[in-house]
Structure 1
Amino acid sequence: MNATTRKYHQLRKEVIKHLYYNKMLTLTELSKLVSKSLPLITSTINDLVSDGYVLEYGLAPSTGGRRALTFLLNKEKQRYIVAVAMDQLVTKVVIYDLLNQAVMESEQLKISLSEGAEGIPVLLDFLKDYISRSGITTDQILGIGIGMPGFMNAEEGINHTFFKVPGDGNLTKHLAKALNLPVFIDNDSSLIALAEMKFGVAKDTKDVMVLNIGWGIGLGMVINGSLFRGHSGYAGEFSHIPLSQSNKLCSCGKRGCLEVDTSLLVLVERAKTQITAGVNSSLEILFLDESKLPGDHFLVAAKAGDPLAVSILSDAAFLIGKGISTLIHITNPKLIVLSGRGAIAGKILMAPIQQAINEFCIPMLSEHTDIKVSELAIDPALLGAATLVVENCNFN
C-alpha cells in the first residue's frame, strides 16, 4: 500500500469515526472536524455512500441560508462490533451495529478473574458460543473490544494482574488467534472514560476525571482531550490512594488503600455484618436472590432509600470525595464524572462527595470543577469496549 492509498484509508476511517461519535453530520461539519478541504471530504463521503457505509439522511435545520445535507452511518452495512466488559466477577458481551444498537441481547458469564489463566478457555468458549448463535460471520465483525481491570498495557496486550498468558504474556494475540478476529484490550476504567468523552456528559470537555465506581474505584483520566495513561501506561490507580483509616490488607498487597473502605465487596460485607447484628434492612431479603450479585442488590437498595444501604454508601462516598479532593488539587479538571456500575446510586453519592470536597478542597479550585453523574443509557463499560474497536479497526 503506497502513501497516497494509506492517507485515503486513514481519511475514510476518520470520517467514519466522526459519524460514529456524532450520529449525523454535514459535509461542512466533517470538513472542520477532520481538518480537510470540503471537496476532499465530499469525494470521500461519495465513496463511502457507494460502498454502503454512509447514507444521506436529509437536510439539516435551517441556519438562515441553504440547508445542507446530513449524513449518517448505515446500520445495514452489516458490519458489527463485539463488545466485552469484564470485571472481577462478571463478564458481559453484546454485539452492536455501527449505530451502537444491540443486534443480539447481551449475555453475561459469572467468572472470577482471580482464576488466572485457567479462566481464559472458559472466556473463549463463552465468546465463541455467543458469536456463533448470533449468525454473524467473522468477515462481518470489525473486531472484539474488551475492557478489563488490572494493570493493563494496551500496547503490549498484557494484563499484568489478571489472565496472565504463559510465554510472552500477550493476551490480545492469544485471544485473537483463538477467535480468528481482531481483538483490542484496554483497562476498563480507561474505556469508561472514553465512552463518557465520546458519548456522555464529558463530550467536548478536554480535562475530565471519570470515576469507575464498582468492585473497586477505578479512574480514567482525560487531559487536553486525550486519555492520559502515564509513562508506563498505568495511570489512574485511584483505588490505591492511602486514605483508609483501617489497617486492612488491600488486594494490591498494601495497607490503607481507599479500596478497602469503598469497594462494593466491602460495602456488602459491612451490610451483612450489621444485618447479622440485628439491623433491619430490605437487603436481608434481596441477598437471598442469587440471580444478581450482592453488590447490585446493594446499589438497588440504596437507590430505593434503604436506610442501612444509604448509610454505608454515604460513608464510602465521603472517602471517595476526599480522594476526589486530591485529584482536584493535582489536576484541576473541568469536570469529574461518576460512572460505572455505581452510577445508578449517583444522587446518593453526590451529597457526601460534595461534603468531603467542601471540607478538604481549596475553594478556588473546587469552584471551577463540576461533578456530574453519568447519563449514558448504554452500559458505559460495553460502550467503551465498542469504541475501542472503532478507534483501532480497519474499515474495509
Structure 2
Amino acid sequence: MPASEFDSKSKKVVRSLYHGKNSCATISAEVGLSIPSVQKIINALLQKGWISESGVGISSGGRKPATYVLNANRLYILCVAMDQFTTRVGLTDLQNNFVTPVHEFELKLHNNVNATQDLVNGIALYLKLANIDSHKIIAAGIAMPGFVNEADGINYSYLPVDDGHNLKEYLSEKLKMPVFIFNDSNAVAQAELKFGLGAAFQEMMVINIGWGIGLGMIINGKMYNGYSGFAGEFSHIPLVKNGQLCTCGKHGCLETVASLIAVEERAIKEMREGLYTTSLTALGRKITAQDILEEAGKGDRFCIKLIAEAGYHIGEGLAILLHIMNPQVIVLSGKGAAVGKLWLAPIQQAINEHSIPRLASFTEIAISELGNNAELIGAASFVMENIHSITITE
C-alpha cells in the first residue's frame, strides 16, 4: 500500500487486527471510527493484500458478520527481551508467531560501559543469521530492566550513550530502523493484557519474578505507568530490616530477600556453611538460580524451601498493594514463574496473614500461560501500540 494511502486511520485498523481477528463493527467500536469508514479501509487493505477474510463472527440476530485477520508475513517485528545478565532476540509476524528461533546471548548490564554496543552487536548478529529482508521489519521493540522513560527513550539505570543521542535514537541509528524501548515488567504486563488474562480481567497486577521483582499494573483495562513513567518499582518497597544494601542504594528492599539473585545467594551461602543437598551438590559447580528453579520443580526440599521463603516475602509486599489497588487478579510471570505453583501457597499465606480478609477474598492469584516469551511478546505488542508513529511503505 502506498504511503499516501496508509494513513493514521488505516494504522488504527491494523493495530486492532494485530491483537486478533475482528469484525468491522468490533473494529469500529475499538478505534472510534464509523462502520462505513472502517469498511472502506478494510476493502483497501483486502485489495492490497494486507488482510484476509477469516470466517464469520457471532451475531445477536440476523446475518453473521465477516471477520478479518492480518496476513502474517506482510511485516515482521523485531522484539528484544533483556535482563541483567542475558538478552533474548526474536522476530514475530503480524499474527504474533515467532518466525525464527529465539536467540539468546550473554550481556551483563551492571557497571558495563560497553553494554549498549554489545546490545547492538548481538542484535546485528541475530539479524544476519535470521536472513530476513530488513525492509520487512517494521520496527524493534526492546524491553529492558531499569528506570525507563519510554516517551523520551532514556534508561536511567543501564545502557549508557555518550554521543548526545538518547538511547532510543542511538539504537535506531545503529539498527537502521525505528526503535521503541520499554521497561521489562511493563512489557510482561502488556503481553498479559493483550494476549493473556487481559480478556477476562480489567484490574490486574502482573508480577515479573526475575533477578528483581517487577510489577506491571493494569487499571480499567489499560497500562498504568504513573506520572513520570516509573510506577511499579515493587522490588524497592522497604520491606525488611536486614541492613542489606540493595542495588538501588537503599537498605531492606524486597529485592534483597525475594529476587532470584537473593535466592541464589542464599543457596550458595548455606551450602558454603555446610548444608548438603543431593541434587545441587551433585552439580559440582557454582549454583545458579536456574538450577534452583529446576531442582525445585523436581521436588528438592531445600530448593522448595528457598522458593517458599522468597514467595512469602513477595506475599507480604502484595498484601500492601492489595489494600491500595484492590485488583481482580495477581498474575505471576517472568523467569521464576516456570515453577509457578510453588509460589502460590507461600504468597497466599502471607496475603492471608497481612491483608484484610474482605480484600484478599476478592483477588485471585494466577500463573501466566505465556511462559518465557511473555517479555518478547509484550515488546512486539508495544511496537504495534506505537504504529501511529511509524512510516509504513511498500
Q: TM-score range by the shorter chain?
A: over 0.9
Change (3 A) 1:386 1:285: farther
Q: 1:390 maps to which residue? A: 384
Kindly state the Cα deviation for residue 287 of structure 1 after the two structures are TM-superposed: 6.8
Residues in 2 aligned to 1:49 and 1:378: alpha-carbon distance in whole angstroms: 34
Are the equivalent residues in 2 in contact too, given 1:104–1:134 (CA < 8 A)? Answer: yes
Are the equivalent residues in 2 in contact too, given 1:202–1:337 (CA < 8 A)? Answer: no
Residues in 2 aligned to 1:320 and 1:126: alpha-carbon distance in whole angstroms: 34
- The secondary structure found in structure 2 opposite 1:279 is coil
Change (3 A) 1:231 1:62: closer
Q: 2:88 maps to which residue? A: 92
Q: 1:57 maps to which residue? A: 54
Are the equivalent residues in 2 in contact too, given 1:202–1:335 (CA < 8 A)? Answer: no
Kindly state the Cα deviation for residue 250 of structure 1 after the two structures are TM-superposed: 0.5
Kindly state the Cα deviation for residue 145 of structure 1 after the two structures are TM-superposed: 0.5
Kindly state the Cα deviation for residue 308 of structure 1 after the two structures are TM-superposed: 0.7
CA RMSD of aligned residues (A): 1.9
Return 315-324 or 40-49, whichever deviates more.
40-49
* 1:75 lines up with 2:66 in the alignment: no
* 1:196 lines up with 2:192 in the alignment: yes
- Runs (4 or more) in structure 1 with deviation over 4 Å come to 61-64
Residues in 1 aligned to 2:150 and 2:127: alpha-carbon distance in whole angstroms: 24
Please, which of 320, 334, 337 is the counterpart of residue 326 of structure 1?
Answer: 320
Matching of residues 200-219 of structure 1 within 5 Å = 200-219=196-215
Number of positions where the alignment pairs a residue of Structure 1 with one of Structure 2: 386
Residues in 2 aligned to 1:190 and 1:219: alpha-carbon distance in whole angstroms: 7
Q: 1:345 maps to which residue? A: 339
Kindly state the Cα deviation for residue 63 of structure 1 after the two structures are TM-superposed: 5.8
Q: 1:157 maps to which residue? A: 153
Q: 2:7 maps to which residue? A: 9
Q: 2:35 maps to which residue? A: 38
Residues in 2 aligned to 1:355 and 1:151: alpha-carbon distance in whole angstroms: 31
Residues in 2 aligned to 1:362 and 1:18: alpha-carbon distance in whole angstroms: 39
Change (3 A) 1:285 1:385: farther
Are the equivalent residues in 2 in contact too, given 1:322–1:353 (CA < 8 A)? Answer: yes
Amino acid at match of 2:15: K
Kindly state the Cα deviation for residue 331 of structure 1 after the two structures are TM-superposed: 1.3
Please, which of 170, 173, 176 is the counterpart of residue 169 of structure 2?
Answer: 173
CA shift digits 1:264-290 (9 cap, x unpaired): 1121121223333132241233574x9
Change (3 A) 1:270 1:287: farther
* 1:182 lines up with 2:148 in the alignment: no
- The secondary structure found in structure 1 opposite 2:241 is coil
Residues in 1 aligned to 2:142 and 2:173: alpha-carbon distance in whole angstroms: 15
Kindly state the Cα deviation for residue 64 of structure 1 after the two structures are TM-superposed: 5.6
Q: 2:247 maps to which residue? A: 251
Structure 2 unaligned segments of length 5 or more: list them: none
Identity %: 41
Q: 1:282 maps to which residue? A: 279
Return 61-70 or 96-105, whichever deviates more.
61-70
Kindly state the Cα deviation for residue 32 of structure 1 after the two structures are TM-superposed: 2.4
CA shift digits 1:221-269 (9 cap, x unpaired): 1122222122221111100111123111111111110100011112112
Normalising to structure 2: TM-score of the pair? Answer: 0.93
Kindly state the Cα deviation for residue 91 of structure 1 after the two structures are TM-superposed: 0.3
Residues in 2 aligned to 1:287 and 1:51: alpha-carbon distance in whole angstroms: 60
Residues in 1 aligned to 2:151 and 2:215: alpha-carbon distance in whole angstroms: 19
Are the equivalent residues in 2 in contact too, given 1:158–1:169 (CA < 8 A)? Answer: no
Please, which of 12, 17, 20 is the counterpart of residue 18 of structure 2?
Answer: 20
CA shift digits 1:146-173 (9 cap, x unpaired): 0000011111111110012125461110
Are the equivalent residues in 1 in contact too, given 2:334–2:372 (CA < 8 A)? Answer: no
Are the equivalent residues in 2 in contact too, given 1:318–1:352 (CA < 8 A)? Answer: yes
Residues in 2 aligned to 1:19 and 1:286: alpha-carbon distance in whole angstroms: 48
Amino acid at match of 1:104: T
Kindly state the Cα deviation for residue 383 of structure 1 after the two structures are TM-superposed: 0.6
Residues in 1 aligned to 2:59 and 2:278: alpha-carbon distance in whole angstroms: 56
Q: 2:102 maps to which residue? A: 106
Return 353-362 or 231-240, whichever deviates more.
231-240
- The secondary structure found in structure 1 opposite 2:201 is coil
Residues in 2 aligned to 1:336 and 1:97: alpha-carbon distance in whole angstroms: 29
Normalising to structure 1: TM-score of the pair? Answer: 0.92
Please, which of 284, 294, 297 is the counterpart of residue 288 of structure 2?
Answer: 294
Structure 1 unaligned segments of length 5 or more: list them: none
Are the equivalent residues in 2 in contact too, given 1:287–1:297 (CA < 8 A)? Answer: no
CA shift digits 1:163-184 (9 cap, x unpaired): 1212546111001001111000
Residues in 1 aligned to 2:234 and 2:165: alpha-carbon distance in whole angstroms: 25
Residues in 2 aligned to 1:50 and 1:283: alpha-carbon distance in whole angstroms: 60
Residues in 2 aligned to 1:194 and 1:117: alpha-carbon distance in whole angstroms: 30
Kindly state the Cα deviation for residue 115 of structure 1 after the two structures are TM-superposed: 3.9
Amino acid at match of 1:242: P
Change (3 A) 1:333 1:256: same
Are the equivalent residues in 1 in contact too, given 2:140–2:383 (CA < 8 A)? Answer: yes
Residues in 1 aligned to 2:96 and 2:257: alpha-carbon distance in whole angstroms: 36
Amino acid at match of 1:234: F
